């Protein structure tokens, strides 16, 4: 019976350097760590020689042929992790004399010396042949790395591709001859996107899907059962490349096999756990939502630049546990140098992996994470770069959408959320940031407001106003106030309620905060003000958090400066309590929220018979006596708890005044899977 959570160990061995030592160590490591699959690196990182030829590949094929029967005898599958397709970066190397590949060209006209244009027919034939030769070994999976992209190909400025062939295709789509300079200027022009924007995104998408199809056809002509996996980078960057994740993975998987994805976990080096979870929710969680449900997901847990100077065993374990909420098949695990040094047994990762494997199997095998997700729906659109308005029209990065703000905020504040890729995904409460509304028709926006309680940040409200739809939020106009300009310095509660045990509680709004909108509401709009912004002289300057029309929370902060960073000043206990109070009063929340306990991230899944509450503690403090704010005032619940450490337990709790306390403790970087069933009264 295969494990419910598979370990896919990425193994680097330099053929002829230390094979005799490393292969016995590999088998020992796999046995002790309970590894299910070994992904052998080929031509990787420090020992990469450029686009290898078949003679060089023969050396690697010989190594793979030697390793495979050793793994077969232990019930471990072999996969191949060929490290490059287009190539990550030049790194001082160049095409060989017998490699007539066309180089990638950046927006400024600079040509790479090793990074390839994905339209190049010679390269497509070459890479398809490389992968077909691996398929002759019948591995479980062959992996395409994340250099299969347009961005991030050093030393190019941003990336490519704007080569002559691409410019010819751009011109053909436009129906006019285009220079690179004119096309880039049009592509990035502020205001309503020009036709060049769609040309760029459509052509980018077609180019990668065409290259993916070439690899798929070559591999499956040799062995139809071999799966083809793809590593990802960051969703908002891929949006600027026109990527459609379902279509791209379908092009790789073919007609028979399931799609396979290696989602990026945004911590190559160890981070403070709450900071990691914030990035995880804004990157990995979003990426998972863009994939088909049946996708086999093995995120990339990477320890770079290697050794326990980069990442501890404890943090590695935390990444394994926290990733379960993605609905995984397992994890790809990269722990040791990619220079051929080999497995370093004294680091002790194998013992940690063995110890946590039963917990991962039990939690993943429960089926909880395959159930529908519940909570606040954070809305995104992977086609957002088609509609986003650039500010200056000067940089490719201006094409990156900023729609994931709420994904970083809500879980840290104890509010369950899930990511929706269409407005219909919202189930009562939704959260919108950035320029998301530009992706929708007027009718879709009106329906969204009619059917949901809506959370808006400042950028989303500005976009709504620009579309002439401010009345849906009861707003007439809004003007930006710059942070640190003296316009405001703190937010103060104004509704007479006591938050954080303090009357008229304040939350700072300077230094590490954000710009804020001074909002003018329509005279006829129903408003419930929760707080206002004040300056250093204690003078009220603007309304702050306001529920308008009984259906919209206006959270006026925005212009954040990064698609993946939450200004730290916005994360505070006052704002957490206001947010939860607003959601509770909305009457639209159908799942529990976690009170207090900063950075205790909740995820809720439901199958109609039970709610599955998965709690992950990203704080350095233990969470003890966890207070739940429930969607009903009273009730009796039976709970069964599967902790990441300790013994399972079961108990009954009674809700009073919409709250209950769980008699459990979750230590830092630990988790618990809780099954909640409400008893009939």
pLDDT digits (tens, 9 = 90+) for 314-352: 999 999 999 999 999 999 999 999 999 999 999 999 999
Say if 366 falls within a structural domain. Answer: yes
Say if 392 falls within a structural domain. Answer: no
Same domain, 145 and 285: yes
Give strand ranges (E) for 531-584.
Answer: 531-534, 540-543, 546-548, 552-555, 557-558
Domain boundary at 549, 571, 586, which?
A: 586
Location of structure tokens 């695990």: 333
- H helices of 241-329, in order, are 245-253, 273-282, 284-289, 313-322
Q: How many domains does the chain have?
A: 3
Same domain, 443 and 488: yes
Q: Which of the four pLDDT bands, split at 50, 70 and 90, describes residue 680?
A: confident
* Mean per-residue pLDDT of the chain: 97
Same domain, 222 and 116: yes
- 37-84 per-position pLDDT tens digit: 999 999 999 999 999 999 999 999 999 999 999 999 999 999 999 999
What is d(CA 331, CA 49) in angstroms, rounded to the nearest whole number? 28
Q: What does the angle CA 236 – CA 241 – CA 246 come to, to the nearest 5 degrees?
A: 80
> Could you tell me which residues come within 8 angstroms of residue 559 by beta carbon, excluding any fewer than 6 positions away?
458, 459, 480, 514, 515
Same domain, 133 and 248: yes
pLDDT at 449 over 90: yes
- 129-183 per-position pLDDT tens digit: 999 999 999 999 999 999 999 999 999 999 999 999 999 999 999 999 999 999 9
Domain boundary at 586, 601, 617, which?
A: 586
Say if 402 falls within a structural domain. Answer: no
Round the CA-based radius of gyration of the chain to a whole number and report it. Answer: 26
Say if 238 falls within a structural domain. Answer: yes
Say if 418 falls within a structural domain. Answer: yes
Q: Which of the four pLDDT bands, split at 50, 70 and 90, describes residue 608?
A: confident
Query: Which H or E element spans position 677?
Result: strand 671-678
Q: Tokens representing 648?
A: 């399972």
Location of structure tokens 């244009």: 117
Neighbouring C-beta atoms of residue 102, cutoff 10 Å: 21
Same domain, 576 and 607: no
Same domain, 100 and 179: yes
Say if 63 falls within a structural domain. Answer: yes
Chain center to CA of 464:
26
Q: Could you give the 3-state DSSP secondary structure of residue 318?
A: helix
pLDDT at 34 over 80: yes
Q: Residue 604 belongs to a domain with what CATH number?
A: 2.60.40.1180
Same domain, 633 and 616: yes
Q: Residue 444 belongs to a domain with what CATH number?
A: 3.40.50
Q: Cis ω on the peptide bond leading into residue 305 (within 30° of 0)?
A: yes
Same domain, 366 and 428: no
pLDDT at 681 over 90: no
Say if 151 falls within a structural domain. Answer: yes
Q: Report yes or no: 672 and 643 within 8 Å, Cβ to Cβ.
A: yes
Same domain, 644 and 660: yes
Same domain, 573 and 604: no
Say if 533 falls within a structural domain. Answer: yes
Same domain, 529 and 661: no
Domain boundary at 567, 586, 605, which?
A: 586
What is d(CA 201, CA 204) in angstroms, rounded to the nearest whole number? 5
Domain span including residue 480: 412-586
Same domain, 561 and 516: yes
What is d(CA 678, CA 221) in angstroms, rounded to the nearest whole number? 53
């Amino acid at each position: 019976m295969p494990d419910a959570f598979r370990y896919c160990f990425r193994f680097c061995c330099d053929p002829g350097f230390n094979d005799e030592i490393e292969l016995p160590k590999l088998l020992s490591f796999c046995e002790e760590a309970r590894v299910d699959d070994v992904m052998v690196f080929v031509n990787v990182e420090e020992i990469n020689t450029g686009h290898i030829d078949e003679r060089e590949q023969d050396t690697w094929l010989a190594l793979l042929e030697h390793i495979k029967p050793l793994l077969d005898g232990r019930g471990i599958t072999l996969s191949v992790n060929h490290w490059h397709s287009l190539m990550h970066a030049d790194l001082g190397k160049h095409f060989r004399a017998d490699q007539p590949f066309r180089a990638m060209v950046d927006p400024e006209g600079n040509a790479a010396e090793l990074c390839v244009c994905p339209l190049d027919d010679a390269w497509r034939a070459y890479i398809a042949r490389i992968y077909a030769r691996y398929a002759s070994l019948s591995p479980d999976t062959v992996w395409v790395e994340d250099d299969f992209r347009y961005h991030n190909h050093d030393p190019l400025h941003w990336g490519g591709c704007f080569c002559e062939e691409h410019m010819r295709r751009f011109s053909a789509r436009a129906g006019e001859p285009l220079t690179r300079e004119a096309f880039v200027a049009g592509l990035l022009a502020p205001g309503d996107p020009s036709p060049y924007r769609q040309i760029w995104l459509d052509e980018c998408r077609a180019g990668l899907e065409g290259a993916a199809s070439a690899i798929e056809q070559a591999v499956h002509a040799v062995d139809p059962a071999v799966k083809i996996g793809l590593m990802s980078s960051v969703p908002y960057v891929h949006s600027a490349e026109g990527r459609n994740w379902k279509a791209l993975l379908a092009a790789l998987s073919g007609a028979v096999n399931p799609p396979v994805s290696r989602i990026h976990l945004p911590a190559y080096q160890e981070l403070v756990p709450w900071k990691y979870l914030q990035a995880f929710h804004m990157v990995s969680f979003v990426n998972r939502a863009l994939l088909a449900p049946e996708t086999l997901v093995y995120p990339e847990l990477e320890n770079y630049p290697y050794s326990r100077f980069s990442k501890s065993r404890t943090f590695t374990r935390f990444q394994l546990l926290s990733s379960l909420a993605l609905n995984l098949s397992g994890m790809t695990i990269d722990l040791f140098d990619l220079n051929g040094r080999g497995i370093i047994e004294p680091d002790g990762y194998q013992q940690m992996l063995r110890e946590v494997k039963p917990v991962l199997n039990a939690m993943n095998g429960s089926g909880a994470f395959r159930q529908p997700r519940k909570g606040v729906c954070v809305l995104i659109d992977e086609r957002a770069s088609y509609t986003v308005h650039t500010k200056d029209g000067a940089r490719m990065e201006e094409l990156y959408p900023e729609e994931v703000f709420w994904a970083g905020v809500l879980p840290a504040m104890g509010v369950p959320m899930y990511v929706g890729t269409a407005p219909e995904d919202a189930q009562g409460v939704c959260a919108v940031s950035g320029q998301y509304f530009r992706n929708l028709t007027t009718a879709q926006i009106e329906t969204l407001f009619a059917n949901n309680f809506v959370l808006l940040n400042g950028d989303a409200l500005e976009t709504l106003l620009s579309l002439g739809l401010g009345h849906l939020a009861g707003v007439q106009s809004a003007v930006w106030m710059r942070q640190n300009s003296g316009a405001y310095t703190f937010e103060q509660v104004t509704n007479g309620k006591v938050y954080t045990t303090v009357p008229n509680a304040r939350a700072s709004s300077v230094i590490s905060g954000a710009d804020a909108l001074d909002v003018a509401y329509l005279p006829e709009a129903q408003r419930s003000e929760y707080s206002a912004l004040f300056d250093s002289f204690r003078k009220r300057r603007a309304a702050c958090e306001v529920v308008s029309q009984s259906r919209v929370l206006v959270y006026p902060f925005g212009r954040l400066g990064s698609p993946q960073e939450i200004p730290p000043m916005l994360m505070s206990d006052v704002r957490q309590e206001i947010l939860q109070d607003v959601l509770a009063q909305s009457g639209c929340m159908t799942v529990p929220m976690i009170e207090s306990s900063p950075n205790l991230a909740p995820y809720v899944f439901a199958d109609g018979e039970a709610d599955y509450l998965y709690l992950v503690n990203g704080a350095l403090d233990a969470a003890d006596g966890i207070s739940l704010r429930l969607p009903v005032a009273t009730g009796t619940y039976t709970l069964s708890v599967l902790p990441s450490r300790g013994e399972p337990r079961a108990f009954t709790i009674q809700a009073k005044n919409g709250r209950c306390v769980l008699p459990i403790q979750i230590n830092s970087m630990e988790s618990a899977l809780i099954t909640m069933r409400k008893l009939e009264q």
